[in-house]
């Protein structure tokens, strides 16, 4: 048991999927895992452990933003022995060829700052995904026929962004989508010798203004979860 995770020793699997929304963690666990067990509900941040195709999996909410995710990832790795961590979440599309419901597999994650900035100081560290996970996720997406894009994403510090000039540069430099967590996940995984990946569903679009209704988002996220699970155990 840690400050933010109430799971007992042995309750957390080495493979952890991490949606931001704790209710999405519950939905994913009940939909994709066999015999999911609630192992954490501290501060309402739900976590479940069960099995998928015979493999133990934990699905643990991370909250919104890199500072929140950093808390859970640090504790999952240092106190519970997590080895593979895959973010499953929504993102905003930033390229014309990226459509609603498409999946983005993030090769790199650009950011203005992260909770790890104090360690790197003047260094512009480039956090990237684990290659074996990325390759397996792309193969899984191709086998399912899911429209998928592979490349860089932008992990923003803020949800209500007031920097259209910065977004313009992200678009100009080929960034596929924007979310709020992956850059710190990749950094922490690299620091501790773990594997990490972000598999994201496009739920809205910065260029077109399109957005999925909230009730449609859950139904559209199934491919993302299946891709993540397949990649973890490829």
Is 195 labeled as ligand-binding?
A: no
Phi, psi of 34 (to 5 degrees): -90, 130
Is 203 labeled as ligand-binding?
A: yes
Is 65 labeled as ligand-binding?
A: no
Is 20 labeled as ligand-binding?
A: yes
Q: Evaluate whether 75 touches 4 at the Cβ level (below 8 Å).
A: yes
Is 218 labeled as ligand-binding?
A: no
Kindly name the residue from 157, 204, 216, 223 that is annotated as catalytic. Answer: 204
Q: In angstroms, how far apart are the furthest CA atoms of the chain? A: 48
| Token digits of residue 186 | 């990749």
Is 43 labeled as ligand-binding?
A: yes
- Looking up tokens 């609603």 gives 100
3-state secondary structure 148-184: EEEEEEEECCCCCCCCHHHHHHHHHCCCCEEECCHHH
Is 204 labeled as ligand-binding?
A: yes
Is 10 labeled as ligand-binding?
A: no
Is 168 labeled as ligand-binding?
A: no
Nearest to 197 by CA among 56, 16, 32: 16
- E-strand spans in the chain? 15-18, 34-40, 47-52, 55-60, 84-93, 103-111, 148-155, 177-179, 195-205
- Quick check: is 223 catalytic? no
Binding-site members are: 4, 20, 24, 43, 87-90, 179-181, 203-204
Active-site residues, by number, are 204
Binding-site members for a purine D-ribonucleoside are: 4, 179-181, 203-204
Binding-site members for phosphate are: 20, 24, 43, 87-90
């Amino acid at each position: 048991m840690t400050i933010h995770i109430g799971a007992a020793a042995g309750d957390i699997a080495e493979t952890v999927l991490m949606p931001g929304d704790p209710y999405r963690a519950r939905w994913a666990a009940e939909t994709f895992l066999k015999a999911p067990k609630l192992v954490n509900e501290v501060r309402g941040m739900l976590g479940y452990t069960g099995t998928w195709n015979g493999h133990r999996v934990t699905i643990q909410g991370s909250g919104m933003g890199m500072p929140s995710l950093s808390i859970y990832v640090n504790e999952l790795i240092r106190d519970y022995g997590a080895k593979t961590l895959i973010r499953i979440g929504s993102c905003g599309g930033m390229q014309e060829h990226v459509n609603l419901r498409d999946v983005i597999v993030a090769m790199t994650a650009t950011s203005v700052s992260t909770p790890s900035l104090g360690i790197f100081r003047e260094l512009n560290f480039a956090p990237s995904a684990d290659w074996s996970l990325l390759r397996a996720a792309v193969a899984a997406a191709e086998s399912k026929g899911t429209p998928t894009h592979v490349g860089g994403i932008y992990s923003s510090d803020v949800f209500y962004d007031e920097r259209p000039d910065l977004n313009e540069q992200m678009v100009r430099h080929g960034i596929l989508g924007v979310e709020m967590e992956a850059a710190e996940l990749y950094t922490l995984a690299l620091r501790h010798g773990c594997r990490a990946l972000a598999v994201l569903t496009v739920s809205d679009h910065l260029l077109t203004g399109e957005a999925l209704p909230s009730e449609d988002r859950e139904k559209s996220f199934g491919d993302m979860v299946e891709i993540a699970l397949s990649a973890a155990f490829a």
